[in-house]
Structure 1
Amino acid sequence: MTKDKRQLLEKQLQQMHKAASGLEWSLQRCQSLTIDALDAEGEEKFETLTARFARMSDILIQKIFRLVDELDLESPGTVRDRINRTEKKGLIDSARDFIVIRELRNAIAHEYEEEALANIHREVLRLTPLLLICPARIQHYIDRSRT
């Protein structure tokens, strides 16, 4: 691995861990809230959670999974290809779940209707734990591949 790739990897791993920490904190703040009866403070907490969910999914899918493929000398392919390879490497349990995460991330940016937002909030609560287990698996995979 070149020095530049190693530096990029370290930077992205740090970014991933920081994003995961913020996402976990936001998740804890939202788990006790009733989605269908949010006040302004609750809406703000969910706004933060969904933004952090979208950011974490981007960091994983667009940066980390891509860089892991590069380090493993895989051809780039599509986002779906990248997610499928990540499942085969054992970094995620289900490619299908990560396709749903990717679709949800896209919906977060484009949805404004209150009923749809409530459904997005439910899905974010359900899927966030899947994002949060990735950093440890990825770190383990990277550490193992370095030796």
Structure 2
Amino acid sequence: MKKLLQQQTLQLEKQVEWLQHSLKQCQKLGIKSDYDADEYGLFETLSSRYSRTIDFLIRKYFRSIDAYEFESQGTLVDIVLRAHKRGLIDTVEELRLMKDLRNTVVHEYIEEKLSDTFEELLEYTPRLLEFSRRSLAYVQTLLKEEL
């Protein structure tokens, strides 16, 4: 289990690095009523990286932390509640909103609502980065305590 958690830590660190890169590019663009193809592409990349990172954090990383600490896997709600209890996220509601944004990006990408979606991405991506970094720090401490 330790090896899996170490591998996933490396994966999450890389995802955080690329998500941060995309966020910086899109923050420079800001929110507009119309985007050219290159600008749209930058937000598409941010959307994709945001979606992959939040899925990885919740479905893999939080689950692996639970397994490492001998917590029963339980439901996704159980996993998120334990992440909140550990201080990895601020509120369950905020994470739910962030997950809803992921679902919008992946399933309901409507062109007329692009600027709303892009605005939400610019709002929630820094929070996702913060939660990811907290989780990475938590695991580093967890693994050091074992030594």
Q: TM-score, normalised by structure 1?
A: 0.90
The structure with higher relative contact order (CA 8 Å, sep 6+) is 2
Instruction: Please say if residues 2 and 68 of structure 2, whose CA atoms lie closer than 8 Å, have aligned partners that are also in contact.
Output: no
Instruction: Tell me the number of residue pairs that the alignment of Structure 1 and Structure 2 aligns.
Output: 143
Stretches of structure 2 lacking an aligned partner (at least 5 in a row): none
C-alpha separation in 2, matches of 1:17 and 1:143: 12
C-alpha separation in 2, matches of 1:145 and 1:8: 14
Task: Summarize deviations over 1:75-111 as a string: whole Å, max 9, x none.
Answer: 2222222112101101111211111111111111112
Instruction: Please say if residues 80 and 99 of structure 1, whose CA atoms lie closer than 8 Å, have aligned partners that are also in contact.
Output: no
Stretches of structure 1 lacking an aligned partner (at least 5 in a row): none
User: Hey, what does 2:19 align to over in structure 1?
Assistant: 23
Instruction: Please say if residues 33 and 115 of structure 2, whose CA atoms lie closer than 8 Å, have aligned partners that are also in contact.
Output: yes
Q: Which moved more, 1:101-110 or 1:31-40?
A: 31-40
CA RMSD in angstroms, aligned pairs only: 1.4
Q: Which moved more, 1:74-83 or 1:12-21?
A: 74-83
* Offset, 1:38: 1.1
Amino acid at match of 1:129: P
- Work out the percentage of aligned pairs sharing the same amino acid: 38
Q: Which SS does the other structure have where 2:19 is aligned?
A: helix
**Aligned residue runs from structure 1 range 26-45, under 5 A:** 26-33=22-29, 34-45=31-42
Task: Summarize deviations over 1:11-44 as a string: whole Å, max 9, x none.
Answer: 1001100001000000000012233221111100
* Offset, 1:115: 2.2
Instruction: Please say if residues 23 and 52 of structure 1, whose CA atoms lie closer than 8 Å, have aligned partners that are also in contact.
Output: yes
Q: TM-score, normalised by structure 2?
A: 0.90
